[in-house]
Amino acid sequence: MNDDWLGKTVSISCGSLGHYQGVIKAVHLEGQTITLKDVFQNGKPCKMPSLTLSANSIEDINFLEVKSSDMAKKSGTPSTSTVMKRKSRPVAENLASAAATKLKTTQPARFSPAIQAVLAGQGSNAYNRGSPRKSWMEGNGEHRVPNRRERERMRDEECFQEINEVEMSEEFDFESNLALFDKRLVLEEISDNIAANQPDVVRLVDCNKRKPEAKYRNDENVLMSVPAQYRPIETGEEPPPGEYVTDSGLIVPAISIELRNTLEAKLKEHGISAERMTELMARSAVELAIHLFGGAHRLNPSNNHQVPLVVILVGPNRAGVFGLATARHLDSQGVRTAAYLPDVPHYPAHVAQELNLYKLSSGKVCTKTESLPQGPVDLVINAMEDHDMWMQERQQPWLKAAQKWILKACPRVNVMALDPPHSPDEALLPTKICLVPGLPLWQGDQFNASAAKIYSANMAIPKKLYQAPLGKM
């Protein structure tokens, strides 16, 4: 007799324990218990597959008659339907069948019971959203115009009514269906359609088969103009020592030390003195220094808490003159400067002249490394080595002391070298930027392997003067 209750849907009230609904799975008369499956507790699905209730906790029990479709929804087992795959057809047949598809009748839309009751009226008695002033029939046969609230309610019921569509048991697999797409086959069909002279496909393919156009950068001229000259300076030196290439593609020829000395002597004859070249070199060095220590915003008067500090290592030579002039220009910009020089009884005349000018500024002059800043430094300018005496200068105690200071006090600081010597050996300090006056000297392959970048200061030398030392002007 226990089997007569199996499969029945019941609703059991257990008082404070809650309300349960489900299908009877088993009845135990000896233990006075009942086991339910597909259980709903207080209207929510239960996480457990089955639930056993004692007869002592049951206050009321009712048997329910549930349709098979409703049971499928409650049990979470959706019904399935077989979807037939449509046979693949060429593109032309799909386009041709598009018009015939529009002529097929569609399934009438489902409306709410209120809307169906309204539409049950014949002809002009039916509610028409486009013409709300037409007569509307109520259930008692009275004709009147629906008010605004009724029209809104009927609209909401039509829009948000429950649609009982057939649920799919499996989700659509996009990856597997995408794998079924044969791109080569589609392209062959398009090619066949082109051969068949079908205009609807030919127009699309012709647009895609346009010849590729040339692409231009946003700063490139698209109009035809004079060809660019990537070699603006010709020295005529044979054989040429080497060439450098800028970021924009310009070719800068390198010169030998002999041609450089001859060129400077020729410049003095035309009025370009060493003092003028020193000032131009110092201005170029200041522009690079401002870029290296963070930009011009650090020189803003409101940024007194972060005034940059630059240390200039000066030697008693031509590079030292460039260094002292650079320190003087930086001090005029509001930069804190400290110049380190060797402690010698007498300096060369051109070095002493620049030193006297620098002492008139607010910069600091040091002859010992102990007087140099021991804290963070924004930039170090190396102007200690000369082209002729660099081997002897590297053996001097003052130069070794400066090298030891920078490697100990600020090993990660940016270093800018002013007119470094033509040396086959490694650089004295790890240099990031080298600034040279005019055309650079060829530093060889060892210099190219380093991380330093060469910047050429524009000394405003006429192009024809580069040919003068060789007698070609």
- How many domains is the chain partitioned into structurally? 2
Question: Cα(241)–Cα(256) distance, rounded to whole angstroms?
Answer: 7
Question: Cα(383)–Cα(321) distance, rounded to whole angstroms?
Answer: 8
CB count within 10 Å of CB 381 equals: 29
Q: Is residue 114 part of a domain?
A: no
Which residue's structure tokens are 């401002």?
A: 290
Is 51 strand, coil or helix? strand
Residues 6+ apart with CB under 8 A from 207: none
CATH of the domain at 38: 2.30.30.100
Q: Give the domain-ending residue among 49, 67, 85.
A: 67
Report the number of secondary-structure helices (H) and strands (E) in the chain: 14, 17
Question: Cα(161)–Cα(116) distance, rounded to whole angstroms?
Answer: 12
Closest CA to 377 of 352, 400, 402: 402
Q: Is residue 235 part of a domain?
A: no
Closest CA to 455 of 407, 420, 406, 413: 420
Q: Give the domain-ending residue among 44, 67, 90.
A: 67
Q: Is residue 313 part of a domain?
A: yes
Residue 444 and residue 266 in contact, taking contact as beta carbons nearer than 8 Å: no
Structure tokens given for 275 = 């003092």
Is 114 strand, coil or helix? helix
What residues in the chain have per-residue pLDDT under 70? 1-4, 66-143, 161-170, 193-212, 224, 423-427, 443-451, 467-473
Q: Is residue 252 part of a domain?
A: yes
Q: Is residue 231 part of a domain?
A: no
Cα distances from 407 to residues 128, 184, 309, 315, 461, in angstroms, run: 91, 65, 17, 18, 38
Is 187 strand, coil or helix? helix
Which residue's structure tokens are 């002809």?
A: 123
Q: Is residue 220 part of a domain?
A: no
Is 337 strand, coil or helix? strand
Quote the DSSP letter at residue 277: H
CATH of the domain at 322: 3.40.50.10260
Q: Is residue 59 part of a domain?
A: yes
The CA R_g of the chain, rounded to the nearest whole Å, is 47
Which residue's structure tokens are 């929804």?
A: 73
Residues 6+ apart with CB under 8 A from 57: 14, 15, 17
Question: Cα(442)–Cα(285) distance, rounded to whole angstroms?
Answer: 20
For the stretch 222-258, pLDDT in tens is: 776 777 788 888 887 777 778 888 888 888 888 888 8
Q: For residue 11, which phi and psi values (nearest 5 degrees)?
A: -125, 115
Question: Cα(75)–Cα(387) distance, rounded to whole angstroms?
Answer: 94
**Phi and psi based region of residue 15 (left: phi greater than 0; alpha: psi -120 to 50; beta: remaining):** left
Boundaries of domain holding 457: 243-299+306-470
Residues 6+ apart with CB under 8 A from 339: 311, 312, 314, 323, 324, 327, 358, 363, 364, 365, 366
Question: Cα(145)–Cα(133) distance, rounded to whole angstroms?
Answer: 6
pTM of the shown model: 0.53
Residue 157 and residue 114 in contact, taking contact as beta carbons nearer than 8 Å: yes
Q: Is residue 323 part of a domain?
A: yes
Question: Cα(290)–Cα(337) distance, rounded to whole angstroms?
Answer: 13
Question: Cα(349)–Cα(252) distance, rounded to whole angstroms?
Answer: 33
